[in-house]
Chain A
Amino acid sequence: MRIITYEDAILEAIAEEMRNDARIFHLSTDAPQPLVKEFGTARVRSAPIAESALTGMAIGAAGSGYRPIIDWRSVTFSFVAMDQVVNQVSKIHYMYGGQKSFPIVFRTKVGGGTRRAAQHSQSPYSMFMNLAGLKLLLPSTPYDVKGLLKTAIRDNNPVIVFESERLANYRGNVPDKDYCIPIGDADIKRPGSDVTIVALAWLVHEALEAATELAELGISAEVIDPRSLAPMDKKTLCQSVQKTGRLVVADEAGPTAGASAEIISIVTEDGPTFRTLKCPVRRVCALPVPVPYSPSLEDHVFPDKTQIIDAVIEMMGDTYPT
């Protein structure tokens, strides 16, 4: 075991996979220097700032036998490539009858808390969840991001890996040996019995702190990180809620038609799970505004452990009579 940062875990995953497979190349508007140094500019290339072209080029190269990794950098820039994402890459395998696979990884940074204002503080993964044909990952630890990214690179489909901007320098344990984490498996970050907190990305860490404080109040919270938004691990989510009878979802994105809405739908559509609910489900999400710049404003917009704790305490007092 070593302790490394989230960002270094990402670079390790890419380098390890590139060493094993000559078909992998990395294309971005700002090539990561450690990768350039090891693999050269033919395989780790800086491209003009033209995300639509880069995204489409990944499709053509994948269809020609390569396994491209495209780094959009901020998810903000993926939006200028939306035709290629929505009309092309998410549909191409299906639309052409499955005659060719398109193994592509799109890396992109999401989340706020970096004082970069509205255009550079977004968490729009639910917009991509609306598309069939994409796998979507949202890892919250160095261990998870490395293991999931390696799986994504080996997957024969387009996979978007949403990397949390706030967690770039977060440090955690990563094994020395090669490992992969299956796509679609949620992780129970902390077991508990009174309430299920499903948290995403940076909020996983806030939820864990909340759980520690709740324990001091005698409330046992289970913290679940879905890690994969598509496919979503329905089984683990439902099993947890069946055990606790209470669900709160914490997301750095806004609530409307968000990942939080989808998680709640998945859980409450399941009859056996729905019938175990002891109180209404709750969402702890960003306020529905563009993210503002000033610290006093931005910190008000994003939820943290305090809102999670408040929600749980309210839910404990709001339990249906049995």
Chain B
Amino acid sequence: MPVSPAEQRNMLRMMQIIRRFEERASQDFLAGKIYGVVHCYIGEEAVAVGVCSALRENDQIISTHRGHGHCIAKGADINRMMAELYGRETGYCKGKGGSMHIADFDIGMLGANGIVAGGIPIITGAAFAAQLTGAGGVAVCFFGDGASNAGSFHESINIAANWKLPIIYVCENNLWAVNTPASASMPIEDVATRAVAYGIPGIVVDGNDVLAVRQTAAHAVERARDGRGPSLIECKTYRHRSHTERATQADSRPPDEVSGWMEKDPIERLKETLKTQQGQLTNDEWESIDQEIIKLIDNAVTFADASPFPPAEAALEDVFAD
């Protein structure tokens, strides 16, 4: 199904929100206003936006340690996200989670997760719930190439395939697990090949082409909704930045590999397509979209910074539900 120009512009805008959010998060992390650890998704925005644009509001997703993009693409409130990064009471987790643990169950975002492959069984359970409910809900599991080597991935995908659960496993293969190249961890070129072992479709897609991701995801989502079971989609992509934003973070990736992928920036690509091929975007229009986004992010920071830190005694709250 063709994606309308208006929708493409929305997708472009969404990718730019993720980019600007993370540029600011990185800046504020290095300035000491955001604590702990920040993993940036910059360069991989097309995966989250392409996949989530194929979902309904009540469909569910789960994310990874590199989770800001998935949250934003699923519709999370960036004010509450930034407040969480700032460790404030108004954050999504009331300051208990931080960058690696943002969740919004009301929008079907079942959480970023600090454990590689940790979220895969959880979202598989959400898919099981969707199957039990029988209302056509679909689940999406985002994970990286590194997670596809872990046991939880294989356990979960086997169950999902066997029970025909309505789930799409979306591998964001950014070619590196921290500082280890995927080629040193897998004897195969494509993670998608692993689908063969579970008797489900395994598709490789250019993860920096948001329209291709969208189209592939839409097909898998339809399949899942129809009760035909899971798919494994491997999105080949790349992170522009090192594993985390820590100033001392080592980066073993060859500089020419990094610069080669920077040339394939997913935002630039869609922008150029809209501008030159479709005539649906002018430089001025883009400039005003970007300015509006920068303002959104500034507002999120203002909201976060104006929010109080949680009172110390709140550390004892929320261990248990009522």
Contact = CB atoms under 8 A, between A and B. Distances in A.
Contacts of A100: 103, 105
Interface in A5-58: 25, 42, 47-48, 50, 52-58
A98 B158 contact: no
Interface string A205-240: 000000000000000000000000000000000000
Contact of B115 (A62, A65, A83): A83
A54 B91 CA distance: 31
A52 B151 contact: yes
Contacts of A103: 321
Nearest to B100: A95
A57 B141 CA distance: 12
A145 interface: no
A98 B156 contact: no
Nearest to B110: A63
Kindly name the residue among B60, B105, B320 whose own CB sees the greatest number of chain A CB atoms within 10 A.
B320
B69 interface: no
A99 interface: yes
A83 B152 CA distance: 10
Given A50-B155, A53-B121, A99 B319 contact: no
B96 A63 contact: no
Contacts of A68: 125
Contacts of A53: 120-121, 124, 152, 155-156, 158-159
B318 A97 contact: yes
Contacts of B245: none
Contact of B159 (A55, A57, A95, A157): A57
B318 A94 contact: yes
A156 interface: yes
B43 interface: no
Contact of B127 (A55, A58, A60): A60
Contacts of A48: 155, 158-159, 162
A56 B125 contact: yes
Interface residues on A, range: 35 or more
Contact of A93 (B91, B95, B122, B318): B318
B312 interface: no
A88 interface: yes
Interface string B129-142: 11011000001000
Contacts of B91: 97
A59 interface: yes
Nearest to B152: A52
A56 B152 contact: yes
Nearest to A104: B125
Interface in A55-96: 55-66, 68, 83-84, 87-88, 92-96
Given A56-B121, A60-B126, A87 B114 contact: yes
A157 B319 CA distance: 9
A268 interface: no
A125 interface: no
Complex A-B, nearest 10 residue pairs according to Cβ-Cβ distance, in ascending order: A56-B121, A60-B125, A57-B125, A97-B93, A101-B321, A50-B155, A98-B318, A53-B155, A64-B129, A60-B126
Given A57-B124, A96-B97, 15 more contacts: A52-B152, A53-B156, A53-B159, A54-B121, A56-B122, A57-B159, A60-B128, A63-B126, A66-B132, A83-B118, A84-B118, A97-B318, A99-B106, A102-B321, A157-B321
